[in-house]
Each structure stands twice: as structure tokens, then as C-alpha cells.
């Protein structure tokens, strides 16, 4: 029971930290939903669809955008959550000083070389993003941009094959729902 309690405590601590860091952020969907819904969705996907119970992975999933999208530093994250969780988060963090197209290409190139834990977080992130594009896409995204995102996400996921067959099946089921080009 003690291990379970400490695991739950660690995940709740990560959720509270992420909620505080993302408190003023909104998603790009038409409803401008609270950003914290996204990291929570990753943890939900990992646990309930992937069968992942590793608290390091779950914490990293909840924290995955804190360095990239908030004022959080790697040192701050390390002080609160330790070296391993911070390492996983850093593996999935884009260098925001680079142009968007370069960041996207680097995700494709780096995906095969990240840790298994980071691959799980990356896969859950792509699953949640596809779901969001299908159900509540970013406001103003034309069909072509949605298709481009689906194809880019598939290139990233192709580099992390073998990490969790259940999650991969979920991803590819969603990928089949890629918006089709208009035909005249």
C-alpha cells in the first residue's frame, strides 16, 4: 500500500505542478479549452488504453509541455521531480528557438533514438493531438493543414514502433480518420 500511495502522490504532485504552470493557457480549439486538459488526457491515454502504470512515465506525460510552453526550467523540474522525469520531459521538448518546420523535422529524426519512456509520452501526445483535431480542431485550421498534421504525426510515430502495441493500434485507428481532400 505504501508504494501505491507514494506513486499516487507523485502523479498528483505532477498534475498540480502542471496545472499551476499552464493555468493561464488555453488550447487552440474553438472553445479555447483549458490547456491542462491536454496533459491529463495523455496520462489517461497511457493508463487506460496503453496499460502503462509507470509513475515516471505518467509524471513526464503530465509535465511534458511545461519546459516548452511555460517559464519552467529544467533545473526547477529536476528539483521538484528528479533527474529521470526531467530527462524524459527534455527528450520530448522541442527547441522553441528553432523555426517550426525545423522542430517538426527534428521530432521525426529524434523519435527513434529517445528512451522507451519518452516514446510512450510522445505516442500518447500524438494520439491526443489527433483526437483533438478530429473532435475539436484548432480554430481556423483548413482541411489541408489537418491532413499535414496527421501525416507528420505518422512519420514521428513510425520512428517509435514497438514501444506499446495497444497505443500504436489506437494511433493508427485515429490516423485512418485523417481528413480527406476535397474532390470535385
CA dihedral 60, 66, 69, 70 (to 10 degrees): 180
Give domain status of residue 181, yes or no. no
Please confirm, yes or no, whether 109 is among the known catalytic residues: no
Burial 60-96 (b: 16+ CB within 10 A, else e): bbbbbbbbebbebeeebbbebbeeebbbbbbbbbbee
Give the pLDDT mean for 61-66.
98
Please confirm, yes or no, whether 94 is among the known catalytic residues: no
Local structure of 64: helix, strand or coil:
coil
Give the pLDDT mean for 75-79.
97
Burial 124-147 (b: 16+ CB within 10 A, else e): bbbbbbbebbeeebeeeeeeeebe
Per-residue pLDDT band for 184 (boundaries 50, 70, 90) equals low
Structural domain of residue 85, as residue ranges? 2-175
Active-site entry in 29, 68, 76, 154: 68
Active-site entry in 3, 20, 49, 69: 69
The number of distinct structural domains making up the chain is 1
Give the pLDDT mean for 84-96.
97
Give domain status of residue 52, yes or no. yes
pLDDT at 1 over 60: no
Specify whether the CB–CB gap between 85 and 63 falls below 8 A: yes
Give domain status of residue 182, yes or no. no
Give domain status of residue 138, yes or no. yes
Give domain status of residue 120, yes or no. yes
Question: What's the CATH number where 99 sits?
Answer: 1.10.3210.10
Amino acid at each position: 500500500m505504501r508504494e501505491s500511495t507514494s506513486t499516487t502522490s507523485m502523479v498528483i504532485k505532477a498534475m498540480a505542478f502542471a496545472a499551476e504552470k499552464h493555468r493561464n493557457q488555453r488550447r487552440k480549439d474553438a472553445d479555447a479549452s483549458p490547456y491542462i486538459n491536454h496533459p491529463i488526457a495523455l496520462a489517461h491515454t497511457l493508463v487506460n488504453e496503453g496499460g502503462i502504470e509507470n509513475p515516471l512515465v505518467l509524471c513526464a506525460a503530465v509535465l511534458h509541455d511545461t519546459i516548452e510552453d511555460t517559464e519552467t526550467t529544467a533545473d526547477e523540474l529536476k528539483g521538484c521531480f528528479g533527474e529521470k522525469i526531467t530527462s524524459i520531459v527534455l527528450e520530448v521538448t522541442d527547441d522553441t528557438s528553432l523555426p517550426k518546420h525545423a522542430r517538426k523535422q527534428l521530432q521525426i529524426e529524434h523519435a527513434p533514438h529517445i528512451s522507451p519512456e519518452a516514446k510512450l509520452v510522445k505516442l500518447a501526445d500524438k494520439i491526443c493531438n489527433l483526437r483533438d483535431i478530429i473532435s475539436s480542431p484548432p480554430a481556423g485550421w483548413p482541411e489541408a493543414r489537418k491532413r499535414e498534421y496527421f501525416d507528420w504525426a505518422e512519420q514521428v510515430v513510425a520512428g517509435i514502433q514497438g514501444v506499446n502495441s495497444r497505443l500504436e493500434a489506437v494511433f493508427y485507428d485515429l490516423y485512418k480518420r485523417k481528413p480527406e481532400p476535397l474532390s470535385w
